[in-house]
Amino acid sequence: QDPGDPQKKKTIDYGSVVEENTILALIDDAVYKAQVNQAKASLARAKADLIQLQAKAEQTKAEWKRAESLRATKAIADTDYDLAVANYKVAQANLAVGESAVSQSEAALQLAQTNLDYTIIRSPVRGVIIDRRVNVGQTVVASLNAPSLFLIAKDLRRMQVWASVNEADIGRIKPGIPV
């Protein structure tokens, strides 16, 4: 049935006239919606982790600056100073990892959303359905070659027919004769 039909009564089938972007079929989207929700949650987690890493980086920077000011007056041991510098560098590296995690989560969300969008099969052109190759409830499996769900003719007024004609009859073929 045509999901764009408010009454849900119009069936897309052989002979149906469709406009460009007409919804032809819907694939069950439950799994894809769950993947989008999971990706959104992962992104929120990555952003929260990034805020935490930014706070840690600020803290270690302040500790490093404090250690530097104490070093000038020899009020800090060299090992404590070295530890403050190392902690700051580790925090900076962790911050870069956190930023990468946010980017990775954004990409995962974009992929999940794209897969969800692919659950709505739309007509790429204006035309007439000349073959429906899928039934309601049928499992559709994607492979290296995308499955053809509908065959759409753009303009039935202009057609080219290739036919096999017996050699004995070819002499009687003329333009305009009925076929």
CB 25 within 8 A of CB 12: yes
Kind of pairing between the strands at 127-132 and 120-122:
unpaired
Identify the residue with better confidence: 135 or 151.
151
Q: How many residues appear in the chain?
A: 179
Per-residue pLDDT of 36-72, as tens digits, reads 999 999 999 999 999 999 999 999 999 999 999 999 8
Per-residue pLDDT of 150-168, as tens digits, reads 888 887 777 777 888 888 9
